[in-house]
Structure 1
């Protein structure tokens, strides 16, 4: 709670985008600005509210970087972040994206009954070892790798029984940490089939354009070159893993060694440093960090 408040106080662009987000969700009776600034925390954490809130803050920060002539050569986003990347790449209009991620949140939340599934982050084992462990516990139910976050951080998604069993086995195998994630459903797994179908139907009504800037998508860790590929990537992302390591490696292979994480949180910065230790990684999450990055980028550029 409180995210974005300093942006609205300092930048008219922020006020403008918050009011656009509110207008987009007007029919739903959602006031994104009020939720961001005042909460309640529980309501803001609800994924159907959190998704448009994060997209709005990320887009504001991207616009402000643009204003300071800091423009990316390539954009990518992790899971929900892919939608902000597509707004940045002009493949989806901001208001349309706000409505879209609101729906995405609802579909993800409702795809499985509460308490059926969840997610675990495993730190300190290789992906091949985790794949092997998933096979070993698959008799207990559905369990799959959901995010390849870094060479040593993998997130698995699935039903509660196999997750509990995997947690035990991963610790025995020498995982440094096994962290149950505070999520209400098993995202990026085959248990999201219903959410995928619903999203595909909703996307038929959403105007999507050919990206005007290179965008790397989660599902293939490759470019989405036209509106058909964008639509397909968003649908497939629902029940497929986020290939974050491969996405960052792909960007790096294009000669890029400087990254800016845009939006609330600092998780991706740490992951990128694990993937490419020599990379320069900055993050912009409020007006102070924005000023800081504008200064530092002045030195880099």
Structure 2
């Protein structure tokens, strides 16, 4: 059996209950406690968006520790979706947990600068081809900037940009027969050129951080390549303004002969996206209800 672990991006609902349940495991308890203490003692007030992202980051790192330290599951490969890059780098021991917490806050502060303007959004479009989506976006661009932010599968995309343009894109997608076209309520134009200057600023803030070569191979979501020590800084910067090319990551998973892919909590809908790309891979996820116990039960069958 060859197993990969997937670190999710932004959770769309609070993870407080998940963090409490993870604390029943010795391997996860100290991580959750350290993360919660960090939030409580933050030097400046944190936005709800940043707190939510910190919760996702903490939950992913803690869940990974349950897999490896408590359940002793062998892991061949790590993959990450969007801001899941931060937790993957901690899991692979490329940076410390505390460094990861600090970077989440740095990135969150930069995103808040843009989000405070209140005119940005993200939208999920399912059921159109890339060519059909391009036509939709060309019309929607008359209402504002619109970018392709995520290529999750050949028919599942996420757009990012000005809210007015994304509303127009959703309307146009439905008219062309999309299965789903909805705003995500995220409020930031992440994974677009709008944030390039913020990404460059993040790189400057992290210039003195010493990263280590990943102890476990990580495939990143921008180019679908393996992360090495010398490109971590650039990837953390580009993560803010480059699109998520998830289909490239899935191609690598297929070529590596991975037969089991574990999607870490919290649930972000990522399991469905994985299954849309890899029919011959067993996907184990917490499910839409975020059922941690059921997820752990499935994992117990692997050990």
Normalised by the length of structure 2, the TM-score is 0.86
3-state secondary structure, aligned to 1:281: strand
1:5 equivalent to 2:10? Answer no
Structure-1 residue corresponding to 2:300: 295
2: distance between equivalents of 1:92 and 1:160? 35
Secondary structure in structure 2 of the residue aligned to 1:134: helix
State which of 46, 59, 62 in structure 1 corresponds to 2:61: 59
Which of 194, 198, 201 is the aligned partner of 1:198?
Answer: 201
Q: CA deviation at 1:290?
A: 4.8
Aligned-residue offset at 1:153: 1.2
SS of 2:257's partner is coil
Equivalences for 1:94-243 in 2 at 5 Å?
Answer: 94-224=97-227, 226-243=228-245
1:5-44 equivalent positions in 2, closer than 5 A? 5-8=20-23, 10-25=24-39, 27-28=41-42
Correspondence for 1:282: 284
Question: Which residue does 2:267 correspond to in 1?
Answer: 265
Shift of the 290–137 alpha-carbon distance from structure 1 to 2, 3 Å rule, reads: closer
Residues of 2 paired with 1:77 and 1:286: CA distance? Answer: 21
Q: Distance in 2 between matches of 1:29 and 1:213?
A: 33
How many residues are aligned here? Answer: 284
CA distance, structure 1, for counterparts of residue 179 and residue 295 of structure 2: 34
Can you list the C-alpha shifts for 1:180-206, whole angstroms capped at 9, x where unaligned? Answer: 111121111111124213311222133
Relative to structure 1, the CA distance from residue 238 to residue 266 in structure 2 (aligned partners, 3 Å threshold; closer, same or farther) is closer
3-state SS of paired residue (1:28): coil
Q: CA deviation at 1:22?
A: 4.0
Shift in alpha-carbon separation, 1:140–1:30, aligned structure 2, 3 A: closer
Q: Evaluate the alpha carbon distance shift between residue 173 and residue 265 of structure 1 in structure 2; reply closer, same or farther with a 3 A threshold.
A: same
Structure 1 position 241, deviation (Å): 0.6
More divergent stretch after superposition (102-111 vs 242-251) = 102-111
TM-score (norm 1): 0.87
Q: How far apart are residue 129 of structure 1 and its match? A: 2.0
Q: Does the residue aligned with 1:213 lie in a helix, a strand or coil?
A: coil
Aligned equivalents of 2:140 and 2:156: distance in 1? 19
Report if the CA contact (8 A) 2:149-2:244 is conserved.
Answer: yes
Find the aligned partners of 1:291 and 1:215 in 2 and give their Cα distance.
23
2:196–2:238: 8 Å Cα contact kept in structure 1?
no
Greater per-residue helix proportion: 1
Partner of 1:38: none
Structure with greater contact order relative to length (CA < 8 Å, sep ≥ 6)? 2
- Seen in structure 2, the aligned counterparts of structure 1 residues 65 and 75 have a Cα distance that, compared at 3 Å, is same
SS at match of 2:182: strand
Does the aligned pair in 2 maintain the 1:115–1:184 contact within 8 Å?
yes
Secondary structure at 1:3 match in 2 = helix
User: Partners in 2 of 1:248 and 1:274 — Cα distance?
Assistant: 10
